Amino acid sequence: MANFNEQGLAYMREGKYEEAIRCFSAAVGEHPDDPAGYINIGTVLAAAGEEEKALECFRQALRLDERAAAAYYGIGTVHYKRGQFALAKDMFERALGLGLDDADTHFMLGMSLWRLEMPRLALPYLQRAAELNETDAEALFQLGLCLATLDYVDEAKRYFEKTLELNPHHADAYYNLGVIYAYKDDLHAARAMFAAALDAKPDHVLAGYGKKLMEKRLAP
């Protein structure tokens, strides 16, 4: 069974969903009482947009093992994708409580709380996600946004800078650095950051507005 699951995971990483499902289905056929195969099939189906089928696979995994943390995580990702953030939060909390103590679970729980407009509750989970995976540019960026929302401006600036070290083309990180420099009345630096955001994403409307505003304020 391990070989089928491992091969399926390899196919999934390559985006070969049909091949992955065939492998995971073979794993289920060999060991129908093991929830792992159902969880893996559900993960592929969710990635492919087959959300209802994915949910049924995750629920089948939970019928086999009500403590299958990865199944709760999978259900949470579907709810999050649908904008059902309160339901997603509950599922990620269950997954975390059952021992799925990894960067993705902390990140998704933090993001669910963030989308529920609870930045203070989101903060520790986003911080933990960034600690567990220091090379995840998006986790660092979202942590920076959360810190900025809570008025921890200098800390936010540091995480936006770290984001750019990992992804030099992250337009929103440049934009938010521009906002911070504007807040600190460093207008030249703010203009440079807004310009960099536009270089990375020419249709970044807010960066375009910010750059024009800085140029207006800098004009003699």
- Residues 80, 102, single domain; the answer is yes
Average pLDDT, the chain: 94
The per-residue pLDDT for 199 is 97
Query: Taking CA 13 as the corner, what is the angle to CA 10 and CA 14, rounded to the nearest 5 degrees?
Result: 90
At which of 98, 126, 151 does a domain end? 151
Assess contact for 179 and 210: CB atoms under 8 A.
yes
**146 and 175 assigned to the same domain:** no
Give me the CATH number covering residue 33.
Answer: 1.25.40.10
**Residue 23 belongs to a domain:** yes
Q: 218 lies in which domain range?
A: 168-220
Residue 29 lies in a domain: yes
Spatial CA neighbour of 177 closest among 148, 208, 139: 148
Q: Confirm whether 211 is domain-assigned.
A: yes
Show Cβ contacts of residue 35 under 8 Å, excluding neighbours closer than 6 positions: 60, 61, 62, 64, 65, 68, 71
Q: What's the confidence (pLDDT) of residue 24?
A: 84
Considering its fold, how many domains does the chain have in total? 3
What's the full length of the chain, in residues? 220
Tell me the average pLDDT across 127-146: 96
pLDDT for 4 beyond 90: no
Half-sphere exposure of 167 (CA within 13 A, CB side): 19
Question: Residues 200-218: what's their mean pLDDT?
Answer: 96
- 13 and 88 share one domain: no
Residues 146 and 194 in one domain: no
Among the candidates 151, 177, 204, a domain finishes at 151
Q: Does residue 122 lie in a domain region?
A: yes
**Calpha distance 41→24 (Å, rounded):** 6
pLDDT digits (tens, 9 = 90+) for 80-130: 999 999 999 999 999 999 999 999 999 999 999 999 999 999 999 999 999
Distance CA 164, CA 184 (A): 20
Average pLDDT (48-61) is: 93
Supply the pLDDT for residue 1: 45
Nearest Cα residue to 106 out of 66, 133, 87: 133
Confidence of residue 29 (pLDDT cuts 50, 70, 90): confident
Greater confidence (141 vs 47) lies with: 141
